[in-house]
Structure 1
């Protein structure tokens, strides 16, 4: 059975691609993005398999 770990990450609108690329290079898969506490912020949810 696969086991997963999860992370939530604040995203800044002006640096979204850079932040997502950095997490992706570390093996994290983006699950979803939801609005944050204000219009300038988003929250990304990531997962990756535990080896």
Structure 2
């Protein structure tokens, strides 16, 4: 069974592509972008957890 780890990161409107490309190059997949509590955009990302079983 695949297990996942998650991360959230703020997105700067003028640099969204670079931010997402950076996370993507580290194996993170974008799940959703929402408006954060202070009004900015927040990206939710996931990637599979690498363990001895699925490494």
TM-score, structure 1 normalization: 0.90
Aligned positions, number: 49
Deviation digits for residues 1-51 of structure 1 (CA, Å, limit 9, x no counterpart): 11000000000101100000000000000000001222xx20000000001
Distance 1:35 1:6 in 2: 18
User: What 5-or-longer segments of structure 2 have no aligned partner?
Assistant: 51-55
Any runs of at least 4 consecutive aligned residues in structure 1 with deviations exceeding 2 A, and if so which? none
Q: Which residue pairs with 1:9 in the alignment?
A: 9
- Ranked by relative contact order (alpha carbons within 8 Å, sequence separation 6 or more), the top structure is 1
RMSD: 0.7
Equivalent residues in 2 for 1:1-51 (5 A)? 1-36=1-36, 37-38=38-39, 41-51=40-50
Structure possessing the higher radius of gyration over alpha carbons: 2
User: What 5-or-longer segments of structure 1 have no aligned partner?
Assistant: none
